[in-house]
Chain A
Amino acid sequence: MKEKLIVIGNGMAGIRTVEELLKLAPDKYTITVFGAEPLPNYNRILLSPVLAGEKQFGDIVLNDDAWYTANGITLHKGKEIVKIDRVRRKVVAADGTEEPYDRLILATGSNPFVIPVPGKDLAGVVTFRDMYDIERMLAAAKSHKHAVVIGGGLLGLEAANGLIKQGMAVTVVHLLDTLMERQLDRPSAALLKRSLEERGLTFLMPAQTEAILGDTQVRAVRFKDGAEIAADLVVMAVGIRPNFTLAKSAGIHCDRGIVVNDTLQTYDPRIYAVGECVQHRGQTYGLVAPLFEQAKVCANHLAELGYARYEGSVTSTKLKVTGIDLFSAGEFQGAEGCEEIVLKDAGRGVYKKVVLKDNRVQGAVMYGDTMDGSWYFELMREGTDVANLRDKLLFGQAHLGDSGHGDIKTRVASMADSAEICGCNGVCKGTIVRAITEKKLFTLEEVRAHTKASSSCGSCTGLVESLLAATLGGDYSTTPKKKPLCPCTEHSHDEIRSAIRDQKLKSIRAVMDMLAWKTPDGCNKCRPVLNFYLLVAWPGEYVDDNQSRFINERVHANIQKDGTYSVVPRIWGGETTPAELRALAEIAEKYQVPTVHITGGQRIDFLGVPKETLPAMWGDLSRAGFVSGHAYGKAIRTVKTCVGKNWCRFGTQDSTTMGIELEKMTWGSWTPHKFKLAVSGCPRNCAEATIKDFGVVCVDSGYELHVGGNGGVKVRATDFLCAVKTPEEVKEYCAAFLQVYREEAHYLERTAPWVERVGLAYLKRRVVEDEVGRKALAQRFRHSQKFAQVDPWAERAKGADRHEFIPIAQIA
């Protein structure tokens, strides 16, 4: 027979414990829940948005009646337990209902603290704790004007913000001279006060309430100094006290809360306690994250697994006032032996302070820009030595080893998988990304449903959305942020690509007709895009439209500022011979090339060649065995190599041959943007493979593959994709990576921003984990190469596109 488990308290902590238990041991207990409120289990943290009118009660219900039924749980709503009979192991409700238990969970939460002043029981004096309080405040806001909120802490400010949104004139009374003194230091509290004042709040501080005045209904509030202010509604939000009356009356040891051990058991081992009613190692908690951590441990013990221990929580705070970003954690005030690193930009309303001791983060306060809060919190909890990061610490995680990207998406992309995204529910990045990919989630709601991330206080919603965007990449274009390709169309890159594929559109004309282009023949932005997408979609079938190519790609040379062109022959892997060099030298002299330059990609560049001369010069190059180097195109550019183990005493593999093989495989391919490769023979990385689109670093055991790097305006180092053993594997992975890039990146999107947009995890899945998919991608790449590996120079030397290179008429 199943054991009987009773939960006293239908709130967040109690029900979360039940949820965790159902995950671990769904059939172990017959579960009964008693709730004093006549309401379903709801998210108490979101009462503030309900008060502010941003959410309805229905939005914050966590588990409806159907959930209890589906899980076989008996729920007694509106039944307050008044007695625990520990000898007979039963509980008794106010209405006389009795229920026996084998195990019992106390989740009785806390009570708002009411300051003992005269008038505290007048009508119109409320606390800020449950839905009943909210209803009373909303009712007051309808008919009354003046609200006074006593308490300038987290709770008080959220209440004040809600009431002002409801149209009341709100004065916040605070005992001290700074707001939220338990979470903020003076500068950040001042910034907060300023922006709340801009929203219309009035502050009276420091001020001590002496009495609340009125006959039956509140009329005014009087202070110690004798001053009075009018009030139709007074909200007491000065704090909470653990609710342990029931436990105490049952003879369970209580101090400031119900005292529990590391498995959340009270002094009666059959009775557990979780949540705000608990005192653990001398601490009580009023935030949600610790409750959820406790719920996990408690459930683990109830399931008789017994390997989880609760050792206390390190907490961080965010304020749930829309438009105000605030984060605080740990010992943010600093103390003896601590150092502070501070960034303050009052004009922008940004303040960040990180407190260090012995190069370890002790605490942090942030205001205005809280994006890196979770990172500091993680550094703090892990006790990471930040000596090497100190100079960049305040600029955020994304600035480590990166000279440019600083937007939220790239910052999310740069977070470690273990970084915590949702502090309330303790959900880290890796868990969310895994859920998105494995369960094919597309919306914020789905992520909330599956992982609980951002489902409690909601302040990490932006982060979760960025993760969705980063993980889904192109697929996340369902958001209204859709951007048309150019003013000629309403459609985005991704829509156009899928139309080409699904509707089997095989010419630029067909695409423009089907998608109702707004211009007769597009523009110089969209035509090259369409040409490329068609080329990738229909290899061997689509006829390249020269007139939709930029001049460089149309004439296979790079236009210079004076209208002449540059010519860069391909030198496979950057390795050449005296005979080749001699041939190049002769050709340079024959055509009187003004400048010969060695490029960054280990090639030779002839600059200043007039257009008319190109075909003849190409003919000579062709006869000497050279083909086009595609230095002019959105195409495979070069494979840079070092000499590798053939010569270098550090070399581990034959990097030169590897590079030549890669170049022979990939040359001629058109890509969304230029694509550069490199192969380094050892981790010293002389070929600079880690700033290439595809880089190979040889190691003793094989080859490390790196992707998504570039030099350029924003230097970005590659991400490590995977390690492989053989040159064949290198080529297969390279072909597959290139093909995903060709098929899915937006035209003119280099691999660096693309990798950040779609997420490395996505690419790993496509190229590394999915073997069948990888082979199919590589196969598609090789198929398209059959049509691409035709030397454009040789063709033109023989007369193709002759009109491009000569004037239509010469007038003497």
Chain B
Amino acid sequence: MSSMGAMKKQQADWIEIGALEDIPRQGARVVRGCDGDIAVFRTLDDEVFALRDRCPHKGGPLSQGIVHGKKVACPLHDWKIHLETGMAVAPDEGCAARYPVRVDAGRVWLMLTPEEGAPAS
């Protein structure tokens, strides 16, 4: 992701989804894909993360939760999910799939293939 070569090689998979400013700080927006929604989060420090928009607990839309630190609280039953890993905060157990995402010159780019090791749904 950091080397230009690698980026070029994968460029076909990176999709530009919009401006960083389109996502509220401490909030999220949804990317509607054919395989379901992906939530793209923006933290207070303008870090951006992308997770499948389904809580590992009961499928709640994580994009609608309150973002705090590098975590989001699911709006349905208040599970907390780590944005960096997609893992539920202990003692809850479960994982939401992670998607590669990056910001380049104020634009947000997303890959639609989940990162390796992440569950498919």
Residues of A within 8 A of B (CB): 519-524, 527-528, 546-552, 555, 559, 561, 563, 803, 807-812
Residues B46-62 near A (CB distance < 8 A): 58-61
Q: Which residues of A lie under 8 Å from residue B26 when comparing CB positions?
A: 521, 547-548
Q: Is the CB of A563 within 8 A of B23?
A: no
Task: Please provide the 5 A-B residue pairs with the shortest distance between their CB atoms, ordered closest to farther.
Answer: A808-B29, A524-B66, A524-B73, A809-B17, A547-B26
Q: Which residues of A lie under 8 Å from residue B18 when comparing CB positions?
A: 808-809
Is the CB of B87 closer than 8 A to any CB of chain A?
A: no
Find A547's partner among B60, B67, B80 (CB 8 Å cutoff).
B67
A325 to B71, CA, bound (A): 48
Determine how close the nearest CB of chain A comes to the CB of B45; give it in whole angstroms. 8
List the one stretch of B2-10, B32-40, B90-98, B113-121 in contact with chain A.
B32-40
A519 to B45, CA, bound (A): 13
Q: Is the CB of A561 within 8 A of B44?
A: no
A528 to B25, CA, bound (A): 16
Q: Which residues of B lie under 8 Å from residue A807 when comparing CB positions?
A: 29-32, 37
Q: Which residues of A lie under 8 Å from residue B40 when comparing CB positions?
A: 808
Q: Is the CB of A559 within 8 A of B64?
A: yes
Contact with A along B66-83 (1 / 0, CB 8 A): 111101010110101000
Q: Which residues of B lie under 8 Å from residue A555 when comparing CB positions?
A: 64
Q: Which residues of B lie under 8 Å from residue A546 when comparing CB positions?
A: 24
Find B78's partner among A524, A559, A561, A812 (CB 8 Å cutoff).
A524
Q: Is the CB of A803 within 8 A of B78?
A: no
Is the CB of B86 closer than 8 A to any CB of chain A?
A: no
A553 to B12, CA, bound (A): 39
Q: Which residues of B lie under 8 Å from residue A523 when comparing CB positions?
A: 66, 68-69, 71, 73
Find A527's partner among B45, B68, B76 (CB 8 Å cutoff).
B68
Determine how close the nearest CB of chain A comes to the CB of B23; give it in whole angstroms. 7
A175 to B30, CA, bound (A): 83
A129 to B30, CA, bound (A): 80
Q: Is the CB of B29 within 8 A of A527?
A: no
Q: Is the CB of B75 within 8 A of A808?
A: no
Is the CB of B27 closer than 8 A to any CB of chain A?
A: yes
Q: Which residues of A lie under 8 Å from residue B68 when comparing CB positions?
A: 519, 521-524, 527
The verdict on A563 contacting B31 (CB below 8 Å), with A519-B69, A522-B68, A811-B112 known, is no
Q: Which residues of A lie under 8 Å from residue B69 when comparing CB positions?
A: 519-521, 523
The verdict on A563 contacting B61 (CB below 8 Å), with A521-B44, A547-B26 known, is yes
Q: Is the CB of B17 within 8 A of A808?
A: yes
Q: Is the CB of B44 within 8 A of A811?
A: no
Q: Is the CB of B75 within 8 A of A811?
A: no
Q: Is the CB of A563 within 8 A of B60?
A: yes
Q: Is the CB of A524 within 8 A of B65?
A: yes
Q: Is the CB of A811 within 8 A of B65?
A: no
Additional A-B contact list (16), CB under 8 Å, known A524-B68, A808-B23: A523-B66, A550-B75, A552-B75, A559-B61, A559-B76, A561-B58, A563-B59, A563-B60, A807-B32, A807-B37, A808-B22, A808-B29, A808-B40, A809-B17, A809-B32, A810-B32
A561 to B58, CA, bound (A): 8
The verdict on A559 contacting B66 (CB below 8 Å), with A546-B24, A803-B22, A807-B30 known, is no
Find A551's partner among B45, B59, B75 (CB 8 Å cutoff).
B75
A528 to B37, CA, bound (A): 26
A551 to B75, CA, bound (A): 7
Query: Among the interface residues B22, B24, B66, B71, which one has the most CB atoms of the partner chain A within 10 A?
Result: B66
Query: Among the interface residues A522, A552, A563, which one has the most CB atoms of the partner chain B within 10 A?
Result: A563
Determine how close the nearest CB of chain A comes to the CB of B56; give it in whole angstroms. 15
Find A803's partner among B29, B59, B60 (CB 8 Å cutoff).
B29
The verdict on A547 contacting B29 (CB below 8 Å), with A520-B44, A803-B22 known, is no
Q: Which residues of A lie under 8 Å from residue B75 when comparing CB positions?
A: 550-552, 559
Chain A residue, CB-CB nearest to B43: A521
21 example contacts (A-B, Cβ-Cβ < 8 A) are as follows A521-B43, A523-B69, A523-B73, A524-B65, A524-B66, A527-B66, A546-B24, A547-B27, A547-B66, A549-B66, A551-B65, A559-B61, A803-B29, A807-B37, A808-B18, A808-B29, A808-B31, A809-B18, A809-B31, A810-B32, A811-B112
Contact with A along B10-24 (1 / 0, CB 8 A): 000001011000111
Chain A residue, CB-CB nearest to B73: A524
Q: Which residues of A lie under 8 Å from residue B27 when comparing CB positions?
A: 547
A702 to B34, CA, bound (A): 63
A559 to B60, CA, bound (A): 10
A810 to B24, CA, bound (A): 18
Q: Which residues of B lie under 8 Å from residue A550 when comparing CB positions?
A: 66, 75
Residues B95-118 near A (CB distance < 8 A): 108, 112
A808 to B108, CA, bound (A): 10
Q: Which residues of A lie under 8 Å from residue B32 when comparing CB positions?
A: 807, 809-811
Q: Which residues of B lie under 8 Å from residue A812 when comparing CB positions?
A: 34
A528 to B65, CA, bound (A): 12
A415 to B17, CA, bound (A): 64
Q: Which residues of A lie under 8 Å from residue B29 when comparing CB positions?
A: 803, 807-808
Q: Which residues of B lie under 8 Å from residue A521 when comparing CB positions?
A: 26, 43-44, 68-69
A50 to B90, CA, bound (A): 50
Determine how close the nearest CB of chain A comes to the CB of B41; give it in whole angstroms. 11
Chain A residue, CB-CB nearest to B66: A524
Q: Which residues of A lie under 8 Å from residue B31 when comparing CB positions?
A: 807-811
Chain B residue, CB-CB nearest to A488: B68
A746 to B54, CA, bound (A): 32
Q: Which residues of B lie under 8 Å from residue A561 when comparing CB positions?
A: 58, 76
Q: Is the CB of A547 within 8 A of B24?
A: yes
Q: Which residues of A lie under 8 Å from residue B34 when comparing CB positions?
A: 811-812
A549 to B26, CA, bound (A): 11
Q: Which residues of B lie under 8 Å from residue A547 when comparing CB positions?
A: 24-27, 66-67
Q: Which residues of B lie under 8 Å from residue A549 when comparing CB positions?
A: 66
Determine how close the nearest CB of chain B comes to the CB of A516; give it in whole angstroms. 16
Q: Which residues of B lie under 8 Å from residue A559 when comparing CB positions?
A: 61, 64, 75-76
Determine how close the nearest CB of chain A comes to the CB of B34; give it in whole angstroms. 7
A307 to B56, CA, bound (A): 77
Q: Is the CB of B23 within 8 A of A551?
A: no
A811 to B15, CA, bound (A): 9
Determine how close the nearest CB of chain B comes to the CB of A552; give it in whole angstroms. 8
A597 to B23, CA, bound (A): 35
Chain A residue, CB-CB nearest to B44: A521
Chain A residue, CB-CB nearest to B77: A561
A801 to B60, CA, bound (A): 22
A519 to B67, CA, bound (A): 13
Find B30's partner among A519, A522, A528, A808 (CB 8 Å cutoff).
A808
A550 to B77, CA, bound (A): 12
A527 to B68, CA, bound (A): 9
Query: Among the interface residues B17, B45, B64, which one has the most CB atoms of the partner chain A within 10 A?
Result: B64
Q: Which residues of A lie under 8 Å from residue B22 when comparing CB positions?
A: 803, 808
A521 to B37, CA, bound (A): 26
The verdict on A811 contacting B33 (CB below 8 Å), with A527-B68, A551-B64 known, is yes
Chain B residue, CB-CB nearest to A555: B64
A563 to B61, CA, bound (A): 6
Determine how close the nearest CB of chain B comes to the CB of A255; give it in whole angstroms. 73
A803 to B112, CA, bound (A): 21
Determine how close the nearest CB of chain A comes to the CB of B49; give it in whole angstroms. 14
A546 to B61, CA, bound (A): 18
